[in-house]
Amino acid sequence: MTASAGAPRSPSEARAAALADARRFAAARRPADLIRQWATDASLTPSPLDQRTVVAYDAVALDAAAGYEALLLSPVAPLGTNSVVAPTSQDRTLTTTRSTEVVSDPTNVLALEAAARLREAPDARVRLCSVHQTLRPQAVPIPSGHTTHFRLFALADAGRGLPDDAFEVHAIIDQAAVHLRLLDAAAERFGLAVGRATASILADADSNVLADRVADALGRRLPGLELERALLASTYYRGIRVLIRVADAAGAELDLVDIGAFDWAGRLTSDARQRFVASAIGLQLLPLRFAVR
């Protein structure tokens, strides 16, 4: 690696320099500095929810996904887990000095685990889920119910592509069904005011046939779900995205569930035949936005 004069010339040298800086900065800090940062740094603030409440919602989410293997993820992932396989900036992730980053999207981490399994067994069908305290430290306005670190429930399906987009269709429908079961179960257990759900199917110009198949399958499997169609402009997804929108306790509509197809499994396994569908829901939004006050 070529470096400018005076700069570290290798990742190991850069890491050693960063650790030395951290030791030096920490040695200069005083208790008052810790209290000041604790009071002003949003990434350090405890969740607005009681931990018992959080764990109770975790259980409801995992129960709704009985067909998925539940993983308890590490707080960190390999450096570049988000920015290497997806068109996102490394700035949205907290990077450490040890070639790792704090998890800012568990779906990317589930893609890593799925790819590792598919490299060992290319014909396998991998179904994973996880509840994770996710950190996104970017400085952006935070809407009601959103915080810098938050509880996210994620699902992932990975495996070989099938004729007629069958893998993507079945995975999208299965994941949508899990999220709707979660909403129904949470509404019943916690007395939430959950409005009627609407699914917006967004597809790019090359994926209209896939969108038709998804719409048809959603209509048959989940007949109570209202459907809309729209053009997908984002390159983050592989042709299709499904957003499930629900009205909260105040009647405000909220894009609560995000489901999409991605090329991550194919890229991570170097096998273009591998497919990957993932989704997520911000669990903490349920008690913060749907509870009846």
- CB-facing half-sphere around the CA of 61: CA atoms within 13 A: 26
Q: Which fold has domain 46-289?
A: BirA Bifunctional Protein; domain 2 (3.30.930)
Whole-number pLDDT of residue 10? 74
Per-domain boundaries in the chain: 1-40, 46-289
pTM of the predicted model, to two decimals? 0.92
Look at residue 12 in the predicted model and tell me its pLDDT: 77
Give pLDDT tens digits for 161-204: 999 999 999 999 999 999 999 999 999 999 999 999 999 999 99
Least confident window among 8-17, 65-74, 265-274: 8-17
